[in-house]
Amino acid sequence: MLKTNKVGLFQMRLKKYSFKEKILIGKRIKQICKKNSVKFLVNDDPILSKKLKADGCHLGHKDMDISNVRKIIGNKIIGITCHNSIRLAKTAIKEKASYISFGAFFSTKTKKVKFKATTTILNKAKKLTKTPIVAIGGINFNNYKKLLLNNANLLAISGYVWNNKKYKPLETIEKLT
């Protein structure tokens, strides 16, 4: 098996599974993450995150606020979706989010794009904070460097890794140097 050290965080995002199924899948993913020194995050569900003893939780803007999530999971990683909004970013920064994410930057089939972000938002956010900034949405081999060159600290890449018809997931990750 090809091993990579380019993945720092892995977010489990299972929208169509029961809580019980998420527990079973999450336990396996957590083992793989631990074996590879990758932080394991759960999307949208701090209770599931606590149950799995995950490294943290990623929250959308309609999810629970950070202070309530901290009461559930403690002092773990909490990332916040900010879409294309400096206002949401300022709130997340004030509440001491571990990272803030913006997107979608490009078209994607992973989920419906309601908010379009540009590199301008990355540059504005960088002037506000030292909080790590994550870029999301339609990121692939042809466009990822543009985001890194415009102050994205991390890239959230899903469809390009998991649905790539040309390369297997680890090969895809290796191509992103």
Residue range 20-75, pLDDT digits in tens: 999 999 999 999 999 989 999 999 999 999 999 999 999 987 788 899 999 999 99
Per-residue pLDDT, 2: 46
CA distance 65 to 95: 9
Q: Is 114 helix (H, G, I), strand (E, B) or coil?
A: coil
Domain positions in the chain are: 7-78, 82-177
Q: Specify the amino acid at residue 8.
A: G
Band of residue 1 on the pLDDT scale cut at 50, 70, 90: very low
The tokens describing 159, both together, are 């469809």
Report the predicted TM-score, pTM, of the whole model to 2 decimal places.
Answer: 0.90
Q: Considering the chain, what is the average pLDDT of its residues?
A: 91
Cis peptide leading into residue 104 (ω within 30°):
yes
Does position 19 have pLDDT exceeding 80, yes or no? yes
User: If we measure between CA atoms, which residue out of 68, 60, 55 comes closest to residue 103?
Assistant: 60
pLDDT of 154 over the 70 cut: yes
Q: Regarding the domain delimited by 82-177, which CATH topology (the fold level of the hierarchy) does it fall under?
A: TIM Barrel (3.20.20)
Measure the CA–CA gap between 130 and 13, rounded to whole angstroms: 26
Least confident range from 33-42, 138-147, 156-165: namely 156-165
Phi, psi of 162 (to 5 degrees): -85, -25
